[in-house]
């Protein structure tokens, strides 16, 4: 033990008193010098921080772009189907009902400018529809008369007018004209017309109505869009037909080449010439497009806001890292001096090291994500909404399995709204939907197609079962007792089986069957053979 202890004492004395003190300090300083490691570590931290925050910033921006694209697309879809389209449904219904009222003698009396019952009906129709500026009726030879009556030149040829095309058409559907100059008023207008057919099925002439596009545009002034942009409706040529600023009506706005890229349905395009995002929804009849444009500057301002906040935080984080780096470097230098000093005097407890350095790194990362979940259910009726209908109908066609499509339209629903108020109308619509859901159960899916129109998809190929389901629903509605004793609610329905045709052809077939049910006296189900 003595032999072992002597060298230790000798080493201790040499460390404190002898010449080897200077070489020992050099070794300690060299071993404990950590500036290089500290610089490298903080360099890696700072580089990682910059790359991470830049990457996250790009991901946030990309996520925001996708979110705003979805919001804008949903906005255009809802405006087109729940607002604009609903303005034209009552007008088409008015045109259809008025044309059904006209027969040969009534048309002849009106064209002879007599005080006929048809003139009285047209005047009343015009007075209760502010969206219509004038009504014109003509026979197959081009003789015509208008309400209100306005003179025209003696050489005026009615057969050359855009609305007259209905007389040469075999279609009983409503035809919308391109915008043209009205020969009587000299103003630009758009007409929608329909063939007048006798009870025997022979064409008698044309009934046309001029749209008051300014009146139809006024509600757009109260429009609240999700992004700063411009919302309007254009025809196939790109001319504006509806706009919140009526001074823009008929102004050419969208390049035909861009319209040519717009497929049927809804989508989003980017126009590099005008540097705008173009969101659109296309109608089949009329051949119009609902357009919502957002400039690149406004779109980027909305989508890059959160990303910019994160980028602004990078210099702040770098400054904090530099302060920490300077503080740690200072602490390490002090620690080395203290360790050397304690080694000089021999008082250091390696089993219980002093807590000289305490580094606390705290990083915070908040990522905000906005999600738009388009509801698949109509809030009023509890049925599936139009978007669900489009998706399910496409799925049925793609699946290739047989199914039936039914279209339901409440009879005289406008009269219920006008006489009893829209709250009562909502109650009626909701009750009819509930009757349908209770009667159908799991045998069919019911949808609110739009306004007072409902739709249902019935899987299978049993025609009698499908008709019975609709008839049962119709009878439940017809025999229902309402709180208002004098209230009677019925509906007409069209039903058709998918025969491998396209979706548009199937809808047109069933819609035509619905019109047949209406023309046959309403309150009935008509099957499209």
Distance between CA atoms of 24 and 292, rounded to whole angstroms?
79
Cβ pair 23, 31 in contact under 8 A: no
* Angle (nearest 5°) at CA 152 between 149 and 156: 130
Provide the edge-to-edge strand list for the sheet that holds 203-211: 144-147, 132-139, 203-211, 191-197, 175-176
Taking alpha carbons only, the member of 120, 112, 139 closest to residue 195 is 139
* Angle (nearest 5°) at CA 143 between 139 and 144: 85
Distance between CA atoms of 239 and 434, rounded to whole angstroms?
43
Q: Whose structure tokens read 């004098």?
A: 486
- The residues pairing with 267 across neighbouring beta strands, listed in sequence order, are 280
- The residues pairing with 197 across neighbouring beta strands, listed in sequence order, are 203
Instruction: Respond yes or no: is residue 508 known to be catalytic.
Output: no
Catalytic residue among 97, 214, 370, 452: 452
> What's the Cα-to-Cα distance from 305 to each of 51, 56, 61, 80, rounded to whole Å?
19, 13, 8, 29
List all residues 6 or more positions away from 405 whose beta carbon is below 8 Å from its beta carbon: 393, 455, 456, 457, 458, 495, 496, 497, 498, 506, 507, 510
Taking alpha carbons only, the member of 386, 387, 263, 176 closest to residue 278 is 263
Structure letter (DSSP) for residue 80: I
Length of the chain: 529
> What's the Cα-to-Cα distance from 321 to each of 63, 310, 325, 361, 367, rounded to whole Å?
29, 16, 6, 10, 22
Cβ pair 189, 283 in contact under 8 A: no
Cβ pair 268, 278 in contact under 8 A: yes
Residues annotated as part of the active site: 452
């Amino acid at each position: 033990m003595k032999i072992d202890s002597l060298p230790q004492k000798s080493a201790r004395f040499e460390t404190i008193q002898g010449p080897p003190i200077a070489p020992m300090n050099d070794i300690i300083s060299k071993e404990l010098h950590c500036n290089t490691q500290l610089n490298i570590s903080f360099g890696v931290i700072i580089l990682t921080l910059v790359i991470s925050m830049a990457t996250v910033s790009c991901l946030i921006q990309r996520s925001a772009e996708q979110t705003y694209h979805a919001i804008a697309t949903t906005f255009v879809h809802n405006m087109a189907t729940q607002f604009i389209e609903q303005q034209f449904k009552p007008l088409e219904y008015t045109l259809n009902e008025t044309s059904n009222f006209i027969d040969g003698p009534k048309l002849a009396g009106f064209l002879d400018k007599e005080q006929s019952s048809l003139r009285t009906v047209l005047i009343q129709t015009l007075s209760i529809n502010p969206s219509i500026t004038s009504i014109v009726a003509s026979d197959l030879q081009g003789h015509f008369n208008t309400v209100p009556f306005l003179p025209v030149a003696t050489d005026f040829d009615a057969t050359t007018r855009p609305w007259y095309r209905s007389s040469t058409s075999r279609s009983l559907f409503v035809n919308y004209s391109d915008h043209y100059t009205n020969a009587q008023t000299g103003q630009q207008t758009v007409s929608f017309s329909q063939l007048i057919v006798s009870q025997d099925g022979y064409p008698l002439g044309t009934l046309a109505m001029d749209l008051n596009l300014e009146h139809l545009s006024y509600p757009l002034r109260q429009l609240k869009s999700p992004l700063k942009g411009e919302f309007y409706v254009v025809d196939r040529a790109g001319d504006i037909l509806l706009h919140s600023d009526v001074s823009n009506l008929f102004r050419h706005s969208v390049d035909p080449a861009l319209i040519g890229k717009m497929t049927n349905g809804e989508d989003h395009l980017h126009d590099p010439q005008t540097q705008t995002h173009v969101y659109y929804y296309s109608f089949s009849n009329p051949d119009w497009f609902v357009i919502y444009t957002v400039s690149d500057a406004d779109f980027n301002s909305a989508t890059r806001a959160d990303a910019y906040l994160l980028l602004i935080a990078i210099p702040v984080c770098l400054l904090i890292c530099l302060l920490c780096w300077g503080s740690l470097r200072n602490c390490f230098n002090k620690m080395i001096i203290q360790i050397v000093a304690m080694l000089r005097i021999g008082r250091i407890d390696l089993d219980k090291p002093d807590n000289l350095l305490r580094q606390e790194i705290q990083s915070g990362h908040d990522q905000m994500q906005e999600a738009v979940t388009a509801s698949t259910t109509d809030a009023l009726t509890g049925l599936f909404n139009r978007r669900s209908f489009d998706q399910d109908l496409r799925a049925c066609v793609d699946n290739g399995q047989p199914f039936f499509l039914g279209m339901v339209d409440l009879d005289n629903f406008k009269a219920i709204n006008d006489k009893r108020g829209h709250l009562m109308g909502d109650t009626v619509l909701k009750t009819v939907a509930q009757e349908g859901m209770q009667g159908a159960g799991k045998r069919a899916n019911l949808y609110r197609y739009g306004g007072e129109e409902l739709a249902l998809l019935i899987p299978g190929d049993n025609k009698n079962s499908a008709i019975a389901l609709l008839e049962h629903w119709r009878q439940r509605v017809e025999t229902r007792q309402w709180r208002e004793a004098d209230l009677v609610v019925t509906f007409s329905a069209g039903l058709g089986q998918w025969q491998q045709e396209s979706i548009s052809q199937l809808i047109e077939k069933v819609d035509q069957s619905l019109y047949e049910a209406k023309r046959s006296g309403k309150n009935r189900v008509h099957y499209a053979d």
